[in-house]
Structure 1
Amino acid sequence: MNGEMQYRVVVNHEDQHSIWPQDRDNPPGWTDEGFRGSKDECLAHIAEVWTDITPRSVREALAHRQS
């Protein structure tokens, strides 16, 4: 590596995404999403895959109300 800090994309139970330093344990409640890279690469990945930022619990409540 070129010395640039490396990150990984993490996700929580609400399907919210964030980046986390690759060399640190995940924060409680967050799991690896599978993507790793530079900060800019991780943020670009999140922008591509996390298109609906509504938390999962809200989406499920809304879907339940509509059915």
Structure 2
Amino acid sequence: MTTEEQDTGLYLVVINDEEQYSLWAAERPLPGGWHATGQQGNRTQCLAYIKETWTDMRPLSLRQRLQA
């Protein structure tokens, strides 16, 4: 059994102002600049959500500059 399979913690999917995603342990206060997306679950579920949702890895500011 891998460490990831043994991890039974609850995680939140968080996003920053540059629209970059990350996992955060649900019991910990969110770090400055990060906001909960409303998605939560185990590590595997959250990573799957991020993989499906975060399709453009470029920071928001870069995407906006390139569109201008």
TM-score normalised according to structure 2 size: 0.88
Q: After TM superposition, give the deviation of residue 4 of structure 1 in Å.
A: 1.3
Partner in structure 2 of residue 11 of structure 1: 15
What's the C-alpha RMSD, in Å, of the aligned pairs? 1.1
Partner in structure 2 of residue 61 of structure 1: 65
Identity within the alignment, %: 42
Gaps of 5+ in 2: 1-6
TM-score normalised according to structure 1 size: 0.89
Distance 1:34 1:47 in 2: 16
Deviating runs (4+, > 2 A) in structure 1? none
Helix, strand or coil at the partner of 2:29: coil
Gaps of 5+ in 1: none
